[in-house]
Amino acid sequence: MDKKIFTKFNYERLRSIINNNESLADEDTSKVNLVKYHLKHAKLVNPTDIRPNVITMNSTFSLKNIGNGKKEICSLVFPDEQYNDETKINIFSEIGAQVLGSSIGTVIKASPRENKYYVIEDILYQPEAAGDFHV
C-alpha cells in the first residue's frame, strides 16, 4: 500500500477517536484497521505544508465512477458529522479509509466485494488550502 500523507492535526484527532471511542467496536473492524494501518505508516506534515491536491478531513471532492462515468461530490467527515447524509463519507467507511491522504488521480475500489472503481477527479475544498487549519 502507498504511504498516505496526513496532517499532524488529522492524525492526532483520528488517533484520539480510535483510542477513546467505544462505539468504533460496532464498526466493521477491517475498516478501522485500515485507518489504523494508514495512521501507522503515514507521512505526517504540518497543516500549512500539505499539498492542495491531497484529501484531508473535511475536504470536499469529486469522485468519478470509472465504469459508468457518473460523478459524485462528497465530503470526508468524522463519524459524528455524517448525519445520514449520503454526500458525507465517514472516515471509517470503505471509501473514506481509502481517500484520506490520497491525491487527485488516485483510483479506489468501492469495497472488496464490489467490482466498482472510482477516481478522485478534483478537490473542491480542502480546509488547509483555504486557511482553515483546525476544521
Residue 11: CATH number of its domain: 3.10.50.30
pLDDT at 26: 54
User: Would you say residue 104 lies in a domain?
Assistant: yes
User: Between the CA of residue 130 and those of 5, 61, 72, 91, what are the distances in Å?
Assistant: 18, 14, 22, 21
pLDDT at 103: 94
State what percent of residues in the chain have pLDDT above 70.
91
Cα-to-chain-centroid distance, residue 123: 12
For residues 67 and 75, is the Cβ–Cβ distance under 8 A?
A: no
User: Would you say residue 133 lies in a domain?
Assistant: no
pLDDT at 34: 83
User: Would you say residue 28 lies in a domain?
Assistant: yes
- Which amino acid, residue 48? T
Q: Which pLDDT tens digit goes with each residue over 80-96?
A: 776 677 789 999 888 99
User: Would you say residue 23 lies in a domain?
Assistant: yes
For residues 126 and 54, is the Cβ–Cβ distance under 8 A?
A: yes
| Domain membership of residue 25 as a residue range | 5-125
**pTM recorded for the entire structure:** 0.86
Q: Is the pLDDT of residue 117 over 60?
A: yes
User: Would you say residue 132 lies in a domain?
Assistant: no
Rg, the chain, Cα only: 14
**Domain count along the chain:** 1
User: Would you say residue 121 lies in a domain?
Assistant: yes
